[in-house]
Structure 1
Amino acid sequence: MAVCQKEREVAYRNRNRLVPLLEKADLPQLEKQELPFKQKGMYLISGGLGGIGVEIAKFLLNHYQARLLLVGRTPLPEPSTKGNHLKDGNGFAPAVRAYQNLEQLAEQLGGEIRYEAVDICDLAQLQQVVERAQSDWQANLQGVIHLAGIAPEHFLVEETRNSFAATLRPKLLGSWVLHQLIKDKPDSVFISLSSVLAFFGGATIGAYAAANNFLECFCYYQRHKTLVRSYCYGSSTWVETTLNRSKQIRESRRALGQYGIFNQQGINSILAGLHHDQHSLILGLDGSNPYVRRYTQQPPYYRQRVSVYFTAVTELSVAQLQRLEAFVPFGTSITPKFQQLQAMPLTPAGEIDREQLISPSKDTENLLPVTDIERQLASIWQKVLGVSQIGIDDNFFGLGGNSLLAVQLSGEIEKTFGKQLPLAALFQAPTIKQLAHLLCQSEWSSSWFSLVPIQPSGSKPVLFAIHILGEGLIYYRDLVRYLGWDYPVYGLSYGLAAATNANNINTKPGIGNGLKELAAHYIEEMRRFQPEGPYFLQGVSLGGQIAFEMAKQLDAQGQTVAIVALFDSYAIGYQWKPYENTTVLQRYTLFWIQKLQTYWNNLWRLEPDKRRAYLSERIRAFVRHYKSGAYKRQFQWFAKKSNLSTEPGLANPNLVDAISDIQNVNYETQASELSSVYPGKITLFRAKQQPPGHYHDPLNGWDGMAASGIEVHHIPGDHISMMLEPNVRVLAEKLKACLAVRQNSSHT
């Protein structure tokens, strides 16, 4: 991928709005040049005994018999003690072994190698080292390969001036000092190795990302303001080096579209960039990954398919196995196709014959819509989801659908087929093939009013997830994916299972506007599904307050509650306690500034022809909510975070009204008095980033409300982003650990 410079940065120049994007580097179509290295040339490599530095040194010795000056921070031990370090296998051993191997290679091939411990940010020291090497080798420095750097991990709020400066130092100041060595030498080469994180960033490596971003800017400066031939290549993880070997790190990077690079792949990629004079490249990206594609201007594409062939006897049917599609750990939203065979086709050598497995069959002919109903449904899905091509086994939610779009889809189905399907039908038949079969039936009805399956399969106890304010259950999808397929999750969101379309919203008699009544209704539906405990409850924001009330009522009914997991929920009445020196007017002004900023950002994310509709919808929503009083003041902060602007393309006023009606009882459940104490324990997953206008309270106001205590886990992100990538991974891991403990306890 070549950086052609995403919405994280915007520049306005000459009335043009510019944003950084990624563009695929089509190297075979570009002109070629000779590599910028010379036989017997002298080159300085910073970080020279690091894993990547050693690989580059090997290449230069093998192909150019180069004279290499390797510099690093740490002195090597005395030659007489090197054997002891190798024998002991201590911290010096890798560097000693690498240097010995390079010395042997240089001697065999006629090159030169030297290592010096020097501060690359000290120009005087560096000049002395270079001059001494030039004198000994009777050669002039012809290039610099800058690899040195440090990558400590800190959240930005934890960074200090000193820690931030220390991370920047080798990349920023080091680059400038190294540049002084060759800036006046025509045709000298300066190659710096950056990181993919310079473009994508990351939760705990902000300083490191900034340092690498500087390298790319400095490369531009060198090419346009000096005679130096400068190149900067951002790379994903080199899996064979000593850096970033952790399997967990590699897999998390792969999930974001960053492939691990083997040494030879890395060297070849750098050489290809140099050979085609590409000054700025990012190496090791998966161009088909959605996280990467969103930074490109490529058109929508048909997803890759994963086929799973098996011969084993299993208790689950193939249809049940298909439900696992939303929980493939990495490669978002793929749809595995399970096929059970009597025996695997084999080659004459006894190996599995993959060509026979993937050869065209009747099954593959059925991937695209065939019947009229399937074609009509595919057309509706394309309109609602904005996807250009859809297969009959694609999962609606796997393609980016959520409860808001599900209501819109139900409305379109009623228009086309004249049938009203509750939302629960879409949860239970989420593919075109399943939905087409459902529409062929005379009628379909849901036995549930508010209970919907999010992930129905799994051997663990069922988790019951309570809606977040205003957004139903959509924020649970990432969490469920990282919990894994073995955790069944059912959602409780008022009226969601019975909702059919934007003009047909059901209400349930006997439920008032109180939190207690809503909790009792959810318990009724939950106990019809699972009559006896232990119950595992979780809720986001307002949903946490409802989960807390449900736990109290279940306890009063003699039922066991294994866990009450609150995702950044505030105790009733807590969140609008102002700072002592903050006026109501100041808080209200701050709220509207932040809200308008959110609207402004959403507006610019849209295509120009959709902006007017979005503005109209926002104005209508404001008038409607102002008249109804549905949003009470204590929830306005969270409404800002979770309002319908998270789906900026959703501008259908009937649909917005429908969602508002469905959720209206949720908005009005705030009790006027503090609830009584729950005899059990609360598990609070608290966002590290808390909004202004609150007292600092590490327990979010829950102190004294759980007789058995409060267990607190801190999650990166704010009230909403803790439920989203990449923070949701931390949340999922901590939640799984808590669930494992509670499951074991509930069985004893």
Structure 2
Amino acid sequence: MLEGKVDPDLCKQIEQITQVEKSGAEVLILSADSANLQQMQDAMNVVESQFGAISGVIHAAGQLHGSMTALIETTEDDFEKQYCAKANGVIVLETLLQKRQVDFCILMSSLSSVLGGLGFSAYAAGNQFMDAFVQSKHEQGDERWVSVNWDGWSFTEATQDDFSMTPEEGVEAFAAMMSIAYHPQLVNSTGALEKRLSQWIDKKVAESQQALYERPDLESDYIAPRNEVEEKLVAIWQQVLGIEQIGIEDNFFDLGGDSLVVTRVISEIRKIFSVNESALSIKEFFEKPIISQLSEKIAAELENAEVESKKAQILEAGKAVEEGVF
């Protein structure tokens, strides 16, 4: 309860913990900074005092929510937040496990470090550190460590896309992973990995071979573009999504777009319309994933740019007259 109101997120967490306990497991909730050696040491001491020796560790610390941003907008602070849990946290864990005989230590990495992490540069970099760290540990003879590049996990219908796993699929994938956890790095891809690598790593090849598919069944009716800006936006979406008929009231995500594809679309928009990053951010795209709304935003930016250009020309002309240059 928060100020007399029910916190739905807290209630959901309590419900999930209750379900785990009903399955026969014992749950101990502790709070510690994964990058703080003393706090993590204290937490492990409590665990060992209550349950005995630790048999295995799953490192799932990280910050995914709010980590999506265009590369040009990514700051040093964004990298620091990811490295704190992904890099410093792993180094702390290594120190704690030096004198503990655990059977395994699973690092929950991400497929973003394999597919390039478009829009998740800091997040992908943190996961790549974990992948490289585990490779190094195996070369040193310590094979307890495993890094798993997970695909997306979806726990609600609102966050599902073509590649995300349901909780049930995730449990099945995790069990399969544990059966072959002697490898230093395992890649979990719910779609054909080679095809996805071609799409994201070798994009020119993928685009040259792309065929346009029929328009899917949508709640929105097809409405054709009404001006040049909308026509260009439709062309960009067709190229990226591979759909032949796209209307100006169609929702980008209903057409099959996802967070990774968004970065490509925004990059193309900035290139085609010659606008900078302030004209259209990733956050704005998520808020207005419809061509008619994006068109208004871009048209206003183009109009402002034209006004500023004419002002500059007038000022330059006035300066030339004052200096006697004709």
**Same topology, TM > 0.5:** yes
Is 1:88–2:88 an aligned residue pair? no
State how far apart, in whole Å, the 2-side matches of 1:479 and 1:294 are.
10
1:146-165 equivalent positions in 2, closer than 5 A: 146-151=59-64, 152-153=66-67, 154-165=69-80
Q: Offset of 1:223 from its aligned partner?
A: 1.9
State how far apart, in whole Å, the 1-side matches of 2:82 and 2:149 are.
17
Consecutive unaligned residues of structure 1, counting only runs of 5 or more, are: 1-80, 301-323, 330-457, 469-473, 488-566, 569-640, 643-684, 690-697, 699-712, 717-728, 742-748
State the match for 1:103 in structure 2.
Answer: 21
| 1:95 maps to amino acid | Q
Match of 2:239 among 443, 461, 478: 478
1:161-560 equivalent positions in 2, closer than 5 A: 161-186=76-101, 188-240=103-155, 246-247=158-159, 250-251=160-161, 254=162, 259-276=163-180, 277-287=182-192, 290-293=195-198, 326-328=213-215, 460=224, 477-478=238-239, 484-486=245-247
Q: Offset of 1:116 from its aligned partner?
A: 0.6
Q: Offset of 1:216 from its aligned partner?
A: 1.0
State how far apart, in whole Å, the 1-side matches of 2:138 and 2:4 are.
43
Q: Offset of 1:189 from its aligned partner?
A: 0.7
Q: Offset of 1:102 from its aligned partner?
A: 2.9
State the match for 2:43 in structure 1.
Answer: 129
When residues 86 and 269 of structure 1 are mapped into structure 2, their CA distance, relative to the original with a 3 A threshold, is farther
3-state secondary structure, aligned to 1:113: coil
Verify the 8 A CA contact 1:483 1:736 in the aligned structure 2: no
State how far apart, in whole Å, the 2-side matches of 1:467 and 1:113 are.
56
Verify the 8 A CA contact 2:90 2:130 in the aligned structure 1: yes
Q: TM-score, normalised by structure 1?
A: 0.30
More strand by share: 1
Q: Offset of 1:738 from its aligned partner?
A: 5.6
Q: Offset of 1:186 from its aligned partner?
A: 4.9
RCO comparison, higher one (Cα < 8 Å, 6+): 2
Verify the 8 A CA contact 2:106 2:147 in the aligned structure 1: yes
State the match for 1:687 in structure 2.
Answer: 275
State how far apart, in whole Å, the 2-side matches of 1:326 and 1:117 are.
49
3-state secondary structure, aligned to 2:28: strand
Residue-by-residue CA offset, 1:320-355 (whole Å, 9 max, x unaligned)? xxxx954446xxxxxxxxxxxxxxxxxxxxxxxxxx
State how far apart, in whole Å, the 2-side matches of 1:104 and 1:124 are.
32
3-state secondary structure, aligned to 1:232: strand
Verify the 8 A CA contact 1:273 1:279 in the aligned structure 2: no
Identity rate, percent: 18
Q: Offset of 1:114 from its aligned partner?
A: 1.1
3-state secondary structure, aligned to 1:145: strand
Residue-by-residue CA offset, 1:682-710 (whole Å, 9 max, x unaligned)? xxx55336xxxxxxxx8xxxxxxxxxxxx
State how far apart, in whole Å, the 2-side matches of 1:715 and 1:237 are.
23
Q: Offset of 1:210 from its aligned partner?
A: 0.9
State the match for 1:714 in structure 2.
Answer: 280
How many correspondences in the alignment?
Answer: 261
Verify the 8 A CA contact 1:215 1:232 in the aligned structure 2: yes
Q: TM-score, normalised by structure 2?
A: 0.63
Is 1:145–2:63 an aligned residue pair? no
3-state secondary structure, aligned to 2:79: helix
State how far apart, in whole Å, the 1-side matches of 2:49 and 2:12 are.
29
State how far apart, in whole Å, the 2-side matches of 1:156 and 1:174 are.
24
Q: Offset of 1:218 from its aligned partner?
A: 1.5
State the match for 1:736 in structure 2.
Answer: 292
State how far apart, in whole Å, the 1-side matches of 2:132 and 2:77 are.
23
3-state secondary structure, aligned to 1:114: coil
3-state secondary structure, aligned to 1:148: coil
When residues 219 and 188 of structure 1 are mapped into structure 2, their CA distance, relative to the original with a 3 A threshold, is same
Q: Offset of 1:477 from its aligned partner?
A: 5.0
Verify the 8 A CA contact 1:121 1:177 in the aligned structure 2: yes
Match of 1:114 among 28, 33, 54: 28
| 1:193 maps to amino acid | M
State how far apart, in whole Å, the 2-side matches of 1:261 and 1:216 are.
22
